[in-house]
Structure 1
Amino acid sequence: MNQFGNMLRRERKEQNLTLGDLAKKVGISVPYLSQIETGTKPLQDKLVERFVTELGLIGDDANALRRAAAVSMGEYSIRMEEGASNDDRILASMLAAGFARLPRDKKDQLREIMKDTNRG
């Protein structure tokens, strides 16, 4: 089980929702929700906000679930150098998860930062 799955299951149970209840609210199948909670299926980025909305999470609770999603999604796709901190992994995962939504100018800035970083 991954961090996101743990948090999602805990929140679902605190709200007395069954797998079926939450799956229906979010618009996914019960088996798929179960696989997300157990970490056997990767989480799709588009589902994170649906979980936040349907669970009525706001503020710190919503952000904690988003951070857990970023970490969990990174477990499937982000490879980092040895010695990377957990904060580094969270930031890299968040960047990867939201990269397609970044405006062109921000992507250009990141590209220049990475060019400078990789030179030194």
Structure 2
Amino acid sequence: MELSHVAIWVTDLDRSLDFYEALGFERSWSFTDDGVENVYVSGDGGELQLRHDPDRTTPIAPTRADTDHVALGVEDEAAVEAAVERSRDAGGSVIDGPHVVEPADAYAAFVEDPDGYTLEFVTSLEGDQ
């Protein structure tokens, strides 16, 4: 079994598309169902489904108490740092890092996307000693 995609609600589809495209994701396909726009952006190994309902009246309030983060694997430490800069330039905000996560033998940073979802950019340090 493999992970197919993760779906998140967004308040501004164009803003979210700009953000994720700035990180290197590419728009792969889309559809509308019952007025809800569903746009998929692809990276290496999976997709992120951006869901937008222009008639939604309840706020989108992501919280790390329920869904802590979505991890995005990158090639190396420089790629973690570059992803942080691209996300900051595209309207994201840095929560933590980049830094070494010793128990995981990884280098990681956490940022929030424009709707407040937490993304982790991470690479393994295994073999970097």
TM range (shorter): under 0.3
More strand by share: 2
TM-score of the two chains, using structure 2 as the length reference: 0.26
Q: Which has the larger radius of gyration?
A: 1
More helix by share: 1
